[in-house]
Amino acid sequence: MTTKVTLSFADQTIADARQWAERDGVSLSSWIDRAAQDRALREIFSAHAEALRRAKVDLDAAALADEEEIALVDADLYRRRRAAR
């Protein structure tokens, strides 16, 4: 679903966005939509990281646990692919 809106941008901002959209092979609307989504995600992740800092969560231990979990999943997927051959 999409919604049409009217926005105003600085001339240089639109010129830059058009150039990047052309480079990426997408419409200006699609490029701006993606840029807005990326910014929204950065804001969400930054707020989440700040909440973790305030809660004094041990990020190093969590990162190591994530890496170990990823390695286990990768190993399991690799075994399944080999068994399927």
Neighbours of 17 (CB within 10 A): 16
**Amino acid at residue number 27:** S
Whether the per-residue pLDDT at 29 is higher than 80: the answer is yes
pLDDT for 35-67, tens place per residue? 999 999 999 988 988 888 888 877 778 778 888
The pLDDT confidence band at residue 83, using thresholds 50, 70 and 90, is confident
- Other beta carbons within 10 angstroms of residue 42's beta carbon come to 10
Question: How far, in Å, CA of 44 to CA of 79, rounded?
Answer: 35
Report the distance separating Cα 77 and Cα 83, nearest Å: 10
